Amino acid sequence: MNDKSVRIEDTNTSLTGLGRRGFMISAVVGVIAMAATVALGAAAGDGMRRLGYTYLISYAYVLSVSLGALTFLPIMSVTKASWHIVIRRLAEVMAAVMPLLAILAIPVILFAGKIYGWADPQIAASAAMAHKAAWFSQGAFILRWVIYFCIWSGYGIFFWRQSLAQDVSGDDNITRRVENLSGFSIMIGAITIAMASFDLLMSVDPLWFSTIFGVYYWAGGFVSFFAVLTLLTFGLQNTGRMTRIVSPEHIHDYGKGMFAFTFFWAYIAFSQYMLYWYANIPEETNWFLERSREGWGKLGIFLIFAAFVLPFAGLISRYAKRHRKMLAFWAVWIIAAQWLNLYWVVMPSFSEKFVFGVMDVTCFIGIAGLWLAAITRLAMGHSLVPLKDPRLEASLRFENA
Amino acid sequence: MKQGDLYGLLIEFESPSLLAAAAMRVRDAGFKKWDVHSPFPVHGMDDFMGIRGTRLPFIILGGGLIGLAAATLMQWWMNAVDYPFVISGKPLFGLPANIPIMFELTVLFSAFAAFFGMWGLNGMPRWYNPLLTSKRFRRATQDRFFIVIEARDPAFKLEKTREFLASLGGSEVEEIHESAED
């Protein structure tokens, strides 16, 4: 039951006292982990190829979380939702770090020659690649990434700036302006995220194609976004911030988001698999063939349980969705499982046999650490809650029916 | 009209806040077989009435699992036992081909379980409710709020319960009877 009298003034909505420390710790951990990753990559003695692949995986994963935030915001806006207002700033900050992710994309472009099949002269010379040659060139690839990041950064910063401006002016027109541009942002986001997933992950094997791949990538990112949002909220609440205003009712909605999009992800993943399994055309099934032997098949079966069956069963009850410890457990679990899913998507193109090393973990910690440092730095000096949003009151009083 | 057995006692209130306050007192008095009636949902009423969580989710889970099992068995029996027929070199019982039907029947049976389970838990269908014999009760869909305590409640004692209801600050207490059988 929500305390009806809860007011925004009753809680600490500032990062003061935590922000600097949080920024320093995550930045230092991130840099050390990245340095360790580079050292391990150099020690592998394959001209940094292994490093390129693991960087791609963790980068694609962290990017998908920010892209999740970037789709969450306009969807909430066009539906005129109010439940999320108290936690909206957290999503805004996750979307607004797009420029950092643009910088982190540079290594992917530098490694492109080592990790993407289309950069391999032997594959590029095959007849199946002839009509794709113009699309898959270094120049076109870089140009597309510039376009993606102009659009994503533009929207991410737009949502962030408008929201901060409303903190000062309290102008209701800002809410309407964001609403008007949100519909377009959903459409543009759908197209650019799909295209980016083709470029980032699918073109590792440029002979394989899947039209649903963009949704597959986005769904994994969206469910991870809810998981990260849950952990960020709990982390802030454990240090005495945003307490009371984020009630079990909001937490319940995090649980619903994780539950629903766990299933959505599985639905899409299976849709992709089943059509290829049924049609059984060599150029389409080869991708799955590579991922079903030499240990990769076992990982695939494991993922069915880790990324779908177990979190689905674990989050199905209302009780679990409102239980903080259980929800935190599943949030960590989902992040690990979805990261592992991208590992399964990418790594078999590097090695026919299953591989896994310390480098994969340190690389993820490195990129995640830098990302966390950036969102902390960005949020410092601002309220953690949009203080003058017209729907803030409704959000404070929100109850699940 | 002849009167049948006593069904319960009805009391009327003029506002949702009076209803909510009264509901809390009925709850605290330990009654179990009682209900409130309002033209619109009153926020927080579940808590005021002390209603505990519903068993419906478990019924739905059962329905879903039965649907899943039914779809699996049906397809296995049809494709691999009763009329084995090799299609595009696939196994007679290949799991991926069967999953869409397994998913659909799980959803369908869950929906049936939710819909009819809700009927069952609410004691539906029934031809009429004794409350409909009360003229005053017709305003339950317009602008009045009601509490009814049923006679089958273990804590129900006609005179004491009548006094208790009268103390809640509503209108006069009305006896509701089942309609007599001819």
Please give the helix or strand (H or E) that residue B36 lies within, else none.
Answer: strand B34-37
At A123 the pLDDT is 86
Residues of chain A neighbouring B47 (CB-CB closer than 8 A): 1
Q: So what's the pLDDT on residue A1?
A: 41
Residue B10: in which H helix or E strand, if any? strand B3-13
Question: In angstroms, what separates the C-alpha of B103 from chain A's closest C-alpha?
Answer: 10
3-state secondary structure labels for all residues of chain A: CCCCCCCHHHCECECCCCHHHHHHHHHHHHHHHHHHHHHHHHHCCCCCHHHHHHHHHHHHHHHHHHHHHHHHHHHHHHCCCCCCHHHHHHHHHHHHCHHHHHHHHHHHHHHHHHHCHHHCHHHHCCHHHHHHCCCCCHHHHHHHHHHHHHHHHHHHHHHHHHHHHHHHHCCHHHHHHHHHHHHHHHHHHHHHHHHHHHHHCHHHCCCCCCCCHHHHHHHHHHHHHHHHHHHHHHHHHHCCECCCCCCHHHHHHHHHHHHHHHHHHHHHHHHHHHHHHHHCCHHHHHHHHHCCCCCHHHHHHHHHHHHHHHHHHHHCCHHHHHCHHHHHHHHHHHHHHHHHHHHHHHHHHCCCCCCCCHHHHHHHHHHHHHHHHHHHHHHCCCECCCCCCCCHHHHHCCCCC
Choice between B42 and B59, residue whose per-residue pLDDT is larger: B59
Of A130, A134, A136, A180, whose CA–CA distance to A159 is shortest?
A180
Number of H helices, E strands in chain B: 5, 4
From chain A, the residues in CB contact with B43 under 8 A are 399
CA distance to B43, B53, B109, per residue, from B47 (Å): 9, 10, 31
Nearest CB to A270; choose among B43, B88, B99: B99
Side chain identity at residue A114, one-letter code:
K
pTM of the model: 0.89
By CB atoms closer than 10 A (0-12, 13-18, 19+), residue B139 is middle
The residue-averaged pLDDT of B42-60 equals 87
Contact between A384 and A15 (Cβ < 8 Å): yes
Residue type at B43 in one-letter notation = H
Q: List the structure tokens of A190.
A: 């759908």
pLDDT for position A394: 85
User: Shortest CB distance from A273 goes to which of B43, B44, B96?
Assistant: B96
H or E, element range at B148: strand B145-150
Residues in chain A: 401
Residues in chain B: 182
A173 to each of A163, A165, A168, A177, A179, how far by Cα in Å?
A: 11, 11, 13, 6, 10
Using DSSP's 3-state secondary structure scheme, residue B167 falls into: coil
Q: CA B89, B91, B95, B96: dihedral to nearest 10 degrees?
A: 0
Question: Which residue type occupies B31?
Answer: F
Q: Is B57 on the interface with A (CB under 8 A)?
A: yes
* Predicted pLDDT at A3: 47
Per-residue confidence (pLDDT) for residue B180, from 0 to 100: 63
Decide: A140 and A118 in contact? Cβ < 8 Å. Answer: no
- 3-state class (DSSP) for residue B94: coil
Selecting from A1, A274, A317 the residue whose C-beta is nearest the C-beta of B47 gives A1
Please indicate if any CB of chain B lies within 8 Å of the CB of A277.
yes
Residue A126: CA count within 13 A, CB half-sphere? 12
- pLDDT recorded at residue A12: 85
Per-residue confidence (pLDDT) for residue A257, from 0 to 100: 95
Give the pLDDT of residue B2.
Answer: 61
- Hey, what amino acid is at A259? F
Is the Cβ pair B47, A318 closer than 8 Å? Answer: no
Residue B179 has pLDDT above 70, yes or no: yes
Within 10 A of B50 (CB to CB), how many other CB atoms are there? 14
pLDDT of residue A401: 66
Q: Do B57 and A318 touch (CB under 8 A)?
A: yes
Which tokens in the block code for residue A304?
């069915």
Cα–Cα distance for residue pair A217/A315, rounded to 1 Å:
22
Give strand pairing partners of B179. B3
For B158, the 3-state DSSP assignment is helix
Look at residue B89 and tell me whether its pLDDT is greater than 90.
no
Q: Which two tokens stand for residue A38?
A: 């580079």
Q: Tell me which architecture the domain covering B3-53+129-179 has in CATH.
A: 2-Layer Sandwich (3.30)
Q: Do B89 and A273 touch (CB under 8 A)?
A: no
Closest partner residue to A274 (CB to CB) among B53, B88, B96 is: B96
* Cβ-based contacts of B99 with chain A (< 8 Å): 270, 274
Mark yes or no for CB contact A280/B57 under 8 Å: no
Run of H or E residues at B166: helix B158-166
| Tokens coding B146 | 């009601």
Between the two ends of chain A, the Cα-to-Cα distance in Å is 11
So where are chain A's domains? 52-396
The better pLDDT of the pair A241, B101 is held by B101
CA pair distance A90, A82, nearest whole angstrom: 15
Cβ–Cβ under 8 Å, residues A115 and A56:
yes
Domain boundaries, chain B: 3-53+129-179, 56-121
What does the alpha-carbon distance between residue A299 and residue B9 come to, in Å, rounded to a whole number?
Answer: 64
Per-residue model confidence as pLDDT tens digits over B147-173: 888 888 888 888 888 888 888 888 888
CA distance between the termini of chain B? 10
Q: Decide if B3 contacts B144 (C-beta within 8 A).
A: no
In angstroms and rounded to an integer, the radius of gyration of the C-alpha atoms of chain A is 21
Residues of chain A below pLDDT 50: 1-3
At B55 the three-state DSSP class reads coil
Spatial CB neighbours of B69, under 8 Å, sequence gap ≥ 6: none
Looking at residue A120, what is its pLDDT? 87
pLDDT band, very low/low/confident/very high, at B181 (cuts 50, 70, 90): low
